[in-house]
Amino acid sequence: MPEGDSVLRAAARLHTALAGRTLTRSDLRVPRFATADLTGRTTLDVTPRGKHLLARFEGGLTLHSHLRMDGAWHVFPAGAKWRGGPDYEIRAILGTAEHTAVGYRLPVLELIRTAEEDRVVGHLGPDLLGPDWDPDRAAANLLAAPDRPLGEALLDQRNLAGIGNIYKAEVCFLAQVTPWTPVGALPAATVTRLASAAQRLLAANIGDRPAHRNTTGSRLRGQDLFVYGRAHRPCLRCGTPIREAPQDDRPTYWCPRCQTGPTPG
């Protein structure tokens, strides 16, 4: 499940392969942009913004993509066999003399003017892994709707950009409150510390590491996350079985002993 850390790693791979190089192949396999041709343009940079990817090209064009649940960008040496899914799932191909970047199952893919990027990412809150990160601003955004459940507020990219369902569950565990706790029930200083903790978790997982995340610091197999995906298994802190219930149509995990606050009936 792509979240801010995995999107940043994807952007880094794309930037390394494409930036400063001229495109020798361009194929956008979505109806609206099927006739667009970027061949001959130089890639200027590939930048992540929350869960969004912005690939900028000379001439003032940006290819905007969003991975959502299943999307992925893969980079291959020129001439290598592609591995990432069947051909019918390919939505974009960007090739240079050295590498080919292939986008699979991209639910969002659009070519826009670079000057108009705010149209697609201007609504986002401070990026947990970006230069605009500001925990005080993120906390103020969260507290602007005090009756909203914390888990839902954390997933709202307008508040802070980069958190997905995994980090939502892990951050709530570290804050020792359930995801259904109203944001306004927490002291403002606690919300600021919570936002800072979320940033530290994502930052700790952006290095050259396997795709799985680690929020516990443990090297033991099956103990890399505190609660996410651990339904009915013992809490790593107290041994109580972890519980699971949907929140906003997504599976949500919590420890009924370590975390206080409201829970689903």
> Which residues are catalytically annotated?
2-3, 51, 250
DSSP state of 212: S
Residues in the chain, total: 265
Please spell the DSSP secondary structure of 1-36, one letter per residue. ---HHHHHHHHHHHHHHHBT-B-SEEEE-SGGGTT-
Q: Is the distance from CB of 84 to CB of 75 less than 8 angstroms?
A: no
The CA-based angle 207-7-21, given to 5 degrees, is 90
Beta bridge partners of 22: 42
Q: What is the DSSP string of 102-132?
A: EEES-SEEEEEEGGGTHHHHTT---BTTSTT
Residues 6+ apart with CB under 8 A from 200: none
